[in-house]
Chains A and B, each alone.
Chain A
Amino acid sequence: MQPAMTRLTRTGGTRAARGSLRQRMWQARWCYLMMAPGLILVGMFSCYPMIASWYYSFFDWDGISAQKYFIGWQNFRDLVHDHYFWSAFGRSFWFMAVATPLELIFSLVVAILLNDRALKMAPIFRTMLFVPVVTTTAISSIVMSFVFAAFNGPVNQALQSMHVINKPIDYLGNPHSVMWTAIGIFVWKWFGQPMIYWLAGLQTIPQEIYEAARMDGARAWRQLISITAPMMAPFAVIITLITAVGNLQAFAFMQALTNGGPFFSSEMMELYIYRMAFGTASTQRLGYASAAGVIFGVAVMVIAVIQILALRRLRSNSSSGMATR
């Protein structure tokens, strides 16, 4: 066997190797066939628009006319000087930075409670807490805009009846409170998703470890930091990545809730791109919006790469730790 393997390594492709690759592919042909529809859809609705946006970002084009004008890097140069672009960019990452830990901590606490076998009707609570996730985003936003309305909104009425506030607060019309209100609603809407991921991870921890720890006198807090936290660490990296990237994509939510207002104070990158692409004051700039999308996409990719590298490092640390033992 070894000489054949050496031949493969040296040459990178002998007749035996090509034959075996083809054979392997033929053996897995049903897998490729099953994956094909998904890949085609991803190609059509993700890859093609992404590549097309890179192309259009070099044009002055309104997205409607047959005529496009090639302008090179001008769109990118204009974006560098666009204060509203950088505000939306910063706001998106600020939103992610605030909403993500809130969502993760809240969902982890709830998952730990739901994972307790002593809790009756846990599946019902789990379902109820997951319902906001499956509710249509735009409808949730519209309903919440009524809940937080300054006039006769239930939240204001409750706070006024408890004498916490004297006058109603315009949560979504006040530039100082709109983003915090949006974050609160967003966390309420989406925390059920990481909660399910945490639950899945918690259920991989053998109960015997907890039993042994209890017999050794470890209390809940000690169990949490010595057993749960270290064993959940690999899950945490993945869940954080998924949650963080998901929190950068809040277009439908924000558009229905505030449409980026008042006066851009809740405008995030996707709303900025939408505004540029589909016009305000009768002009549309699809090329410019595409350039904004390219820059934002690169930034999101950088975050994803950083987290993947962190996950790899974590895994290699834990496997080298095991090897030492």
Chain B
Amino acid sequence: MNSPESPGTPISRRRALGVIGAGGAGLALAACTNTSDTTSNKTAAPTPKSDFNIATSAAKLPTGNVQLRWIDSGDTKAEFFKAFFSAYQKKHSNIKVDYQGTNWNTLTQEVGLGFRNNTVADVFELPLNVTAAQAVTNGWVGAVDDIVPNWPEVLKRYPPGLFANGINQFNGKTYGMPFSSNGRIGSILLYNSDLTKKAGFDLDKEVLSFDRVRELAKKCTKDGNGKYYGVIFGLTQEGGLSNIVTQFAEMSGVHGGASGAGAVGTNSINWKTGQFNFTHPMVAETVELILAMKSDGSVFPGSASLDQPGARERFPQGVAAMIFQGPWNIDPWTRADPSFPLGVAMPPVANPKDVWPTTHGPGGSDTWYFSAKTKLGPVVADIFSYMSTEDAQLHWADYNGAGGPPAFPAASAKATLDPLNEKALTLANKYTMIAPQPAVRNPDVSKVFQAQKAPQPTFDQTLVGLFTGQIKSSVTKALKGVQDRYEKSLDDGIKLAKSRGAKVSRDDWIFDDWDPKKPYAKLYQK
């Protein structure tokens, strides 16, 4: 019998099986990685500029050993909370905090299931498919008024617009805590400055028009010669194109935006008229710009099969010169590769000499709630009280930058950020305004949102259909179809809500005193 070790003889079956088994075991071990933890592969978090100055609040803390469970959507917030909870546990040695900063899919499953089987964490962000109104109605979340002894004083520290009836306040009580502001440019222009400079563009000095961004994308694609392209999108995820279109269109003069998002399109209404914006000529022009970049060949191939995280992962590899996503990407990219030549600029607009602000609703970019069944109300109250101080907000700014601007404008002004975050925050402070929200003026409007049926296809899905060529009609005709579907959806929702006892009408969506260039703060004055 040939020895398996003899040269020129075939490997024995036993040896082959042994090698394959060892390889398989190695692969299995390598696969045992928790990939849901979005902070596990981060490089070093920023060093805070000072220690946390955690003041004693009015809450009476427990004296025995307790453990608080806290879950949210992680990313740069996780860096802050890990540092803060470390300091908090040092100050209160009997209080342990089990913090979980995870992705939205995991959070949606865990918190959603936790509501149903009473195992939800003490503090959490709401899953994306659960509204605050639903959480309050079902008794899943508790009122901050009931646990923070000096809540009226704490509330006064916040600027108008962070808290609003029907958003995070219901029946005169506060349920959600927005530690960060909603004032962000969600589809800011993030670019590879080496590639754009090579194409002859200086985006530090120039605000791009639609023609110029198309020209830049084309030039970069030509320079790239197949190695990189002008722009990358992530279209398989809802919002992949509509977020970009609404950003460009609103800053070009489509007042109220046209995203198709929010409570079935609330972020797409001209509040002066109460009508959807999808047939605005500037929306069509913006869509034509995207399609033109595609037909130029300037769009990264495979954008139609990427989701937004997929696009985000590829951009720092130098596959595209531009990406339009949120400023929350700045810190992860620069920390992962400090040498990456990232630049931040205004999104393109139709006329750079006439830039309009982009609007947002009341509330925060992230909002935390606590379980109505928690036994650690005083601990939650203590943490919420600290988070509502300028010290906490300054530290928040250190860690989150422009991706999650602090709720307090004073903290935003005092924060010393890196140049990219500073630029993004400056643009946000200049070009974001709070808009009206019908559910605040008439709480019954939230019953319309619950009764409404989403149109099919949505605005974003229609844009993807136009992009892939599956919708063969003209852009104008396709947008007319979107407008009709959204108008019908809202009208049917109002009719159904009224049949169920809601006191609403289409007039609730009209704010004829709205000035798109001014914050509509009067609705949220305390």
Contact = CB atoms under 8 A, between A and B. Distances in A.
A281 B458 contact: yes
Contact of B454 (A64, A153, A172, A283): A283
A296 B148 CA distance: 51
B265 interface: yes
B481 to A, nearest CB: 13
B508 interface: no
A128 B471 CA distance: 43
A174 B423 CA distance: 38
A60 to B, nearest CB: 8
Tell me what chain A mostly uses at the interface: helix, strand, loop, or mixed: loop
Given A262-B235, A263-B471, A285-B453, A173 B17 contact: no
A260 B465 CA distance: 13
Contact of A261 (B134, B449, B464, B471): B464
B13 interface: yes
Contacts of A151: 300-302, 314, 319
Interface string A130-173: 00000000000000010001110100000000000000101111
B137 A261 contact: no
Interface in A272-291: 278-285
Contacts of B261: 281-282
Interface string A239-280: 000000000000000000011011111000000000000111
Contacts, number: 118
A205 to B, nearest CB: 26
Contacts of B131: 282
A125 B328 CA distance: 48
B336 interface: no
B264 interface: yes
Interface in A82-96: 82, 84
A73 interface: no
Nearest to A85: B456
A66 interface: yes
Interface in B7-21: 13, 16-17, 20
B238 interface: yes
B303 interface: yes
B138 A66 contact: yes
Nearest to B13: A121
A280 B238 CA distance: 8
Interface residues of A, number: 39
A34 B207 CA distance: 73
B130 A64 contact: yes
Given A261-B464, A262-B235, A280 B458 contact: yes
A264 B457 contact: yes
A199 B452 CA distance: 54
B117 interface: no
Contacts of B17: 124
B305 A121 contact: no
Given A64-B138, A121-B16, A283-B264, 17 more contacts: A62-B134, A62-B450, A64-B129, A84-B456, A173-B304, A173-B306, A175-B468, A262-B468, A262-B470, A263-B461, A263-B464, A264-B461, A280-B454, A281-B455, A282-B264, A283-B453, A284-B129
Interface of B: 13, 16-17, 20, 128-131, 134, 137-138, 235-238, 260-265, 300-307, 314, 319, 449-450, 452-458, 461, 464-465, 467-471, 500
15 contacts: A62-B450, A64-B138, A65-B137, A65-B138, A124-B20, A173-B304, A261-B304, A262-B468, A264-B457, A264-B461, A279-B128, A279-B129, A280-B458, A281-B238, A282-B264
Closest 5 CB pairs of A and B: A173-B304, A150-B302, A173-B305, A150-B301, A172-B305
